Amino acid sequence: MPEKAPPTWPSKPVIVIDSREQLPFSFADTRAGSVVRALPAGDYSLEGFEGNVAIERKSLTDFVSTVVHERTRFEAELQKLKGYEHAWVIVEGSLEDVLSGNYRSKITPQSLLGITTALMTDYIPILFAHNRACARALTEALLLRCYKRMIK
């Protein structure tokens, strides 16, 4: 039986943006193409690797609200992402913001840090990216690196 030819991948990766993403990043001026469609998990992935690579984006406000008020639902999402080869949560905010209580919630910085470290230990990495521009750049860099690794 003849060997099956390996797939040919486009030289330019395509970032998939979940169609439910509220404030999607723009990748118009990047080394990747982009397309909008529903993803099984996360807000960003790579075309052809939607079940292997995912990034969940959160503003700091949304992250705090989610871990305080919707933790059970969020943990179910993280459990799904834990099964991916590459998955991260990227927060548009800094760890300094967390530690200084620079967010709208009555949760203490120590409690928020404790919840965050528990989620990172139990599920997937949570990366703090200072602001939206840094979060977009980190998202793109991680996805491009994954693409290079996945097509080898």
Convert the pLDDT of each residue in 32-44 to its tens digit: 899 999 999 999 9
Residue 108 in domain: yes
| pLDDT value for 1 | 55
Whether 9 maps to a domain, the answer reads no
Q: Output the pTM of the full model.
A: 0.91
Question: How many Å apart are CA 36 and CA 68, to the nearest integer?
Answer: 29
Tally the domains of the chain.
Answer: 1
Confidence category of residue 28, pLDDT binned at 50, 70, 90: confident
Say what the pLDDT of residue 29 is: 80
DSSP 8-state class, residue 137: H
Domain span at residue 69?
52-150
Two structure tokens written together for 28: 């118009």
Query: Does some domain include residue 29?
Result: no
Pairwise CA distance, residues 2 & 113, whole Å: 55
Beta carbons of 79 and 123 less than 8 angstroms apart:
yes
DSSP strands (E only) in 41-95: 44-46, 53-59, 86-92
For residue 66, pLDDT over 50 is answered with yes
Residue 5's pLDDT is 46
